[in-house]
Structures are given as structure tokens and as C-alpha cells.
Amino acid sequence: MSLFDTAHFDSLLRTAWLARNVEYFQSVETTMTIARELAALGAPTGTLVLAEEQTAGRGRRGRSFASPPGENLYFTLILRLSRQMVRALPLALPLAVCEGILASGPDARIKWPNDIWVRDRKLSGMLTDLDTAGDDYIAFPGVGINVNGDPRLVPGLEDTATSIAVELGHPVDRVAVLAHVCNTLEAALQAPPQALAERYRAVSFVLGHKVTVSGAGPDRTGTAVAILDDGNLVLRLADGSEETISAGDVSLRPATGPG
């Protein structure tokens, strides 16, 4: 197992505050749990909690998240944010992860709202917990990125997951991937909403395709015609009407292509 080189990571950072404090662990149940504990003890905003292995990783809607030791990236950030940055986070986080993966080579795209896919396989997932106390916000975005491992060897993921190394046919510098994500995220959190949304739309996996959205009320099937500046998805239904959706899981309908 190749250990994460924190000195190399620091040399690649271009941020003012994001990931300037790194808490690095060999094995934890979840980085989210550690991040919450550190935040309660006063850890500064931007703190990066990074682990080589998670033994109880959690995905969206309570799903388990496979986190074998070494070679990949499993991390949670502690972000004390303004209201404007909180509103930007649902677009800024997946965009930063997607662009970090794109910079290493694979043709990554965002499957709304925040999974990162290459072709028909998932490469990265994320989950954000948000706490509020009056006008104060603290976000805990947790991210897993398959970098140099081979998730196809994990039972149940043989046909649905991939990694950067699998896509390229060779390992990559995971330190550089994470530094690119952090550099992009700090800037994206402060970008004008329209510009941020345009960048998100440019790497969308769903726009123009027939999709089914589930997990937030009855399933809805239609064509994904727009992603609004606030991150909501607009579906055009079979009867020609349009519906705006703020949350849910998207699956692509088979084989009709764009339109």
C-alpha cells in the first residue's frame, strides 16, 4: 500500500484556507464521524480528514460504500460557510471532483445530482451532511474517489464501478487528484452562481437524455432538459409538461440517446 504523501499534497495546493489543515488516518470507521468529532473540538474551516481505509463507509440514502485500504481517496471536509457558499456547495463539490478526475485523463461526467461516472460506470460518490445553528452553517462533504484500486474486484461492483487507473490502464498520482479537487472547490465556492452552473452543465451526464428519477416521491420518467442555476433538474414528461426536481436518484433510460 502506497501511503499518502502529505508534503507532496501541500506543495500542490493553491488554496488560501481549504485543506490547509490535514488530519490523516490509516483506518477509520468513517471520515465523516472523525470530521464531526474534530469540528466539535474547534477544528478550523477547511480541515481535510483523510483515511487510507474506511470500515463503515456510508453512501447516499444509507447505502454502504466500499472502501478497501490504500490507493483510493476517502475524505471529509469541515466547511464553515456563508449562506452563499452553502447554496453553491451542491454544484461546486461534484464539479470540483469531476474536474479533478478530468485533469488526470478519464472523460468523467456528473450524473445528477453528484455521482461521477465514466461511460456507464461509477467512479466517485459523495454525501454532504449540513448542520445549522442560527445563521451559522457547517458542512461535512464526504467523498470517495476510485483512483488506483480496481472496484471490479469487489463483489457486487463488477459491472457498475470503475477507477481512474482502470480507465487509463495505468496508476496515477492520487495526491495530485485530491489537490486539484481542493484547488477547484475553494474557487468554485466563490464563483458567480450562473458561471458555476454553466460549468456544471458542461460536464453533465444526463442533459438531453431520457431518465427516471426515484427516491423523492413517485418515480418520474422524462427527458432531462435543463439544470437550473440552483442545481434543480428540469424534466420534460411524456405529455410535454415540465417538472422541476430538487432531489432524487437518476437512472438513464436505455438506448434512446439524446432527446
- Looking at the structure, do residues 158 and 53 belong to the same domain, yes or no? yes
pLDDT at 187 over 70: yes
Total structural domains in the chain? 2
Q: Looking at the structure, do residues 162 and 128 belong to the same domain, yes or no?
A: yes
Contact 64, 58 (CB under 8 A): yes
Domain presence at residue 258: no
Same domain, yes or no: 174 and 246? no
pLDDT in tens, 125-180: 999 999 997 778 999 999 999 999 999 888 888 889 999 999 999 999 999 999 99
| Residue 38 shares a structural domain with residue 124 | yes
Pair (150, 247) in one structural domain: no
Residues 238 and 146 placed together within one structural domain of the fold: no
On whether both 56 and 76 belong to a single domain, the answer is yes
Across 96-158, the runs of DSSP E, i.e. the strands, are 108-111, 115-118, 121-133, 136-145
Last-in-domain residue among 202, 219, 236: 202
Q: Are residues 116 and 183 in the same domain?
A: yes
* Three-state secondary structure call for residue 130: strand
Positive or negative CA dihedral for 131, 60, 246, 187? Answer: positive
Domain of residue 22, CATH code: 3.30.930.10
Same domain for 141 and 232, yes or no, is no
Cα angle for residues 226, 124, 25 (degrees, 5° grid): 140
- Residue 229 CB contacts under 8 Å (≥ 6 apart), including other chains: 193, 194, 196, 197
Q: Does 259 fall in a domain?
A: no
**13 shares its domain with 130:** yes
Q: What is the pLDDT of residues 203-212, one digit of tens each?
A: 999 999 999 9
- Enumerate residues 6+ apart whose C-beta is below 8 A from 165: 147, 148, 149, 150, 171, 172
Please check whether residue 1 lies inside any domain of the structure. Answer: no
Q: Is residue 257 part of a domain?
A: no
pTM beyond cutoff 0.85: yes
Quickly count: other Cβ atoms within 10 Å of residue 248's Cβ.
18
State whether residue 248 is helix, strand or coil: coil
Residue 58 confidence class, pLDDT cut points 50, 70, 90: low
**From CA 7, how far away is CA 16, in angstroms rounded?**
17
Domain co-membership, 233 together with 110? no
One-letter amino acid of 84: Q
Q: What is the average per-residue pLDDT within 1-13?
A: 90
Question: By mean pLDDT, which of 14-23, 110-119, 217-226, 247-256 is the weakest?
Answer: 247-256
Structural domain range at position 124: 6-202
238 lies in some domain: yes
3-state secondary structure of 33: helix
How far apart CA 59 and CA 156 sit, in angstroms, is 15
CA distance 65 to 175: 21
